[in-house]
Structure 1
Amino acid sequence: MRLRPGANLIRAILGLAVLSPLTFVVPQAAWVLLFGTIPLAAFAIREVRLLRSLLSKVEVSRRQTSLVGRDTPFLTKLVISNQSEQELLGVVRDVLPNTAIPDYSPVSIAIPPHGIATTTTQLRIPERGRYELGPVWLRAQGPWKLLEAQKDFDCRASIKILPETFVSKEGLSEDQRAQLLMLDKITRARQNGAGTEFESLSEFRHGDDPRRIDWRTTARLGHPIVRRYQVERHRDVMIIIDCGRLMGAKTSAGTKLDCAIDSALMLAEVALRHGDRCGVGYFDNQVRGYRAPLSGVSSVHSMADSIYDLQSEWRESDFGAMFAELQLRQSRRSLIVLLSDIVDVETSTRFRTSLARLAQKHVLLFAALRTPLLEQVVHSPVSSLLDGSRQAVAFELLQQRQKALHSLRHSGIQVLDVEPSDLTVPLINEFIELRCQNLL
């Protein structure tokens, strides 16, 4: 318990300080000050005991959800129970994350003896990850407001902030709803392709490919029977996410890493819905995590748990370690989806070597996320020499990036060059195109 002077004690001390110069003029005034100070001290000591007894009989508990979507409002409730024989007057303050809105929310309380009060605060956190709420600080006033006592209650709680499209689709904006609806239509329309996995036998109809007639069954039944095929199921899809410094660049929808995680979860959900097995890996200058492909739509939740709180640590990305991990653990031919970016030809030389070797065994889709700031600098008006120099550097970086992507395409790697905020639909559309081409 921490003590601090209350409003009345400060007023009393200021009053005594104002009267103290009178002792030089009227010596008898010193006795007045002395007799005023002694009762004040006695009342203060008495109030300390009351506050200590009061706070020892106060309990604080928390009620809130453990999972919420990014930038989605949620409520956190504090239940304060006063089991003492005196009224509790004061202020309660919850320690909130720095990214929470609002990040400071003190609430005044007045709880009668043996009473209970509940405070409710609406928060939203615009950045995904795991956050801690608490402890709770309670500052109580004494009955004569001479002192205030402060005590912390360790009712902490953790909350997971996931992409809002993954947690709930009810609170989405109109644009987000339209995107998900369009995505759903795309996935349904593109699945009706000609596959190589046997599905069933059926009677021959006009327009069927004669090459698919099953002659043994036709001879046994006496009329033409054809084989029906479907797009293959139970294929492995590995989503690799770069967490290096390039993915920490800001966009209109958070960082590039935020957009990559959002799209990765949507892609995983689409793949799992259609029978594929899906896994995820993430790296920067070393492998930070690897989750082998699993089947079943429910496994997307465990995938979300493993990547929802990824953050860019501003390390230089090194794909070599992840390449070695894939070579070791992913022996089955798979579709590898790499969400990353690239800067120049020199960097892509090492990068391209690893990707080219990986593409010999797997189908590789490299989604390159642009840096919006470079485009803004290139198209911004020039008003000074510094602006011109900045624009020249940005233009050179964009040129180098295009050359690097061209070299990757020339190596036979599928490249998708998109804005981070527009990644989801093109990425899943490209995934379905590759799936229907029966390359696995």
Structure 2
Amino acid sequence: MRFRPGPNLVLAILALALLSPFTFAVPQTCWLILLGLLPLLAITFREYRHLHGMLAKIEISRRQPAVVGRDVTFLVELDIVNRGAQEAIGTVRDVLPNVAIPDFQSEPIRLDAKGSTTTTKQLRIPIRGLYELGPVWLRLQGPWQLLEGQRVYDCRASIKVLPETYVSREGLSEDQQAQLLMLDKVTRVRSSGAGTEFESLSEYRHGDDPRRIDWRTTARIGRPIIRRYQVERHRDVMILVDCGRLMGALTETGSKLDCAIDSTLLLAEVALRYGDRCGIGLFDDRVRGYRAPLSGVSSVRTIAESIYSLQSQWRESDFGTIFAELQLKQTRRSLIVLLSDIVDVETTSRFRTSLARLAKKHVFLFAALRTPLLEQVVHAPVKTLLDGSRKAVAFELLQQRQKALHSLRHGGVHVLDVEPSELTVPLINEFIELRCQNLL
């Protein structure tokens, strides 16, 4: 516990200090100051004991969700119980993460004797990660406002901030809900498409492909029987997420890395529902994480735990490091989905050199996330010489990027060039297309 002077004690000491110069002219003033100081000290000591007893009989606990969505509002409740026989008046403050909105909040409270109250505050955290809330500071005023007592309650709690599309679909915007609804429909329709893995025999129906008639079974039974096929399952899908410098660029829905992680979790869920195995790789100039392919829809939680706190670093991405890791650990033919970006031909040449060996064994899908700022600069009006220079640089960067992607396409890499905020549906569409083409 800590104690500090209250407003009335400061005023009383200031009044006595103003009287002190008069002791030189009127010595009897010393007795007046002394008569005022002694009762003040006695009352202050009594108030100290009063506050000490009150703070010892107050308990604070918190209630909050363990997992929330990025930039989604959630509630934090503090239950304050006064077990003392006197009323308590003061303020309570919860220590919040620096990235929380708001990051500082102090609320006045009034506790009746043997009473309790609950304070509720709305917060949102716009950056993914693991954060800690607490401790809680309680400051009470004495009955005469001569002292203020303060106590720290160590009721800390951790909270995980995950991508909002993964945590809950109820609080999303109408556009996001429409996008996910479209995704669900696409997944259901495309997953029922024709594959090459035999599923069953059934009677011929109008509209069936006559080339799938099983003539031996048809001759034995005496009526047309066809073979039905399903999309192949139990394939390996490795999703590689770039955490380098380019992925830190901001978009309308967070950074490019935020959009990549949102889409990664939904793609992993779709792949696992297909019956495939899904793994994850994280890299910038080094391999920051690698998890071998897992099976079962519940494995998406493990993948989420691996990437939910991932943040972009100011480092140039080195594709060679993650490709070397794949060469060593992923011996089975797989579909490799790489979420990154590329800006120049030189980087593309290094990318293709690192890819040369792996491309002979695996199928690669490269999702190139555009930088919205470049498009904004290109379409912005030119008012000054500086605006013209910026537009020229933006045009040059976009031209180099298009050449780089064109070079990758000619190298046999499946390329998806999209806006970061619109990545999810095209990415899963392309994934299903590749699965249905039986390229694995």
> What TM-score do you get using the length of structure 2 for normalisation?
0.95
Which whole-Å deviations, capped at 9, do the CAs of 1:352-386 have from their partners, x for residues lacking one?
A: 21223222111110001111111212222233333
Which whole-Å CA distance do the structure 2 matches of 1:102 and 1:131 have between them?
14
- What amino acid maps onto 2:175 in structure 1? D
2:287 matches 1:287: yes
2:172 matches 1:172: yes
- Does the 8 Å contact 1:202/1:228 carry over to 2? yes
Which whole-Å CA distance do the structure 2 matches of 1:319 and 1:43 have between them?
72
What is aligned with 1:9? 9
Q: Cα distance, 1:264 vs. partner?
A: 0.8
- What amino acid maps onto 1:296 in structure 2? G
Which whole-Å deviations, capped at 9, do the CAs of 1:35-82 have from their partners, x for residues lacking one?
A: 212221222223223322322232211111101222222211111222
What is aligned with 1:141? 141
Which whole-Å CA distance do the structure 2 matches of 1:85 and 1:213 have between them?
88
Q: Cα distance, 1:3 vs. partner?
A: 2.0
Q: Structure 2: any 5+ residue segments left out of the alignment?
A: none
What percent identity do the matched residue pairs reach? 75
Q: Cα distance, 1:205 vs. partner?
A: 4.5
Which whole-Å CA distance do the structure 2 matches of 1:105 and 1:228 have between them?
63
- What amino acid maps onto 1:362 in structure 2? H
Q: Cα distance, 1:201 vs. partner?
A: 1.1
How many residue pairs get matched? Answer: 440
Alignment RMSD = 1.8
266-275 or 131-140, larger mean C-alpha shift: 266-275
Which whole-Å CA distance do the structure 2 matches of 1:207 and 1:35 have between them?
108
2:50 matches 1:53: no
Which whole-Å CA distance do the structure 2 matches of 1:116 and 1:245 have between them?
50
Which whole-Å CA distance do the structure 2 matches of 1:402 and 1:171 have between them?
37
Which whole-Å deviations, capped at 9, do the CAs of 1:255-308 have from their partners, x for residues lacking one?
A: 000000111111112222222222211111111112222222222122112111
What is aligned with 1:387? 387
What is aligned with 1:132? 132
Q: Cα distance, 1:126 vs. partner?
A: 2.2
- Does the 8 Å contact 1:134/1:156 carry over to 2? yes
Which whole-Å CA distance do the structure 2 matches of 1:296 and 1:241 have between them?
21
Q: 1:105 to 1:207 in 2, by over 3 A?
A: closer
Which whole-Å CA distance do the structure 2 matches of 1:212 and 1:408 have between them?
37
Q: Cα distance, 1:222 vs. partner?
A: 4.1
What is aligned with 1:234? 234
Which whole-Å CA distance do the structure 2 matches of 1:212 and 1:377 have between them?
55
Q: Cα distance, 1:215 vs. partner?
A: 4.1
- Does the 8 Å contact 1:356/1:413 carry over to 2? no
- Does the 8 Å contact 1:96/1:134 carry over to 2? yes
- What amino acid maps onto 2:126 in structure 1? P
Which whole-Å CA distance do the structure 1 matches of 2:239 and 2:431 have between them?
11
Which whole-Å CA distance do the structure 1 matches of 2:25 and 2:391 have between them?
77
Which whole-Å CA distance do the structure 1 matches of 2:122 and 2:214 have between them?
65
What is aligned with 1:116? 116
Specify the SS of the correspondent of 2:316: coil
What is aligned with 2:356? 356
Specify the SS of the correspondent of 1:376: helix
Which whole-Å CA distance do the structure 2 matches of 1:253 and 1:204 have between them?
50
Which whole-Å deviations, capped at 9, do the CAs of 1:106-137 have from their partners, x for residues lacking one?
A: 11112233332221112222222211100101
2:398 matches 1:415: no
Specify the SS of the correspondent of 1:25: coil
- Does the 8 Å contact 1:237/1:278 carry over to 2? yes
- What amino acid maps onto 2:70 in structure 1? R
2:21 matches 1:33: no
- Does the 8 Å contact 1:356/1:412 carry over to 2? no
Q: 1:404 to 1:39 in 2, by over 3 A?
A: same
Which whole-Å CA distance do the structure 2 matches of 1:385 and 1:207 have between them?
65
2:103 matches 1:83: no
Which whole-Å deviations, capped at 9, do the CAs of 1:327-358 have from their partners, x for residues lacking one?
A: 22222211111000112111121112122322
> What TM-score do you get using the length of structure 1 for normalisation?
0.95
Which whole-Å CA distance do the structure 1 matches of 2:359 and 2:150 have between them?
63
What is aligned with 2:96? 96
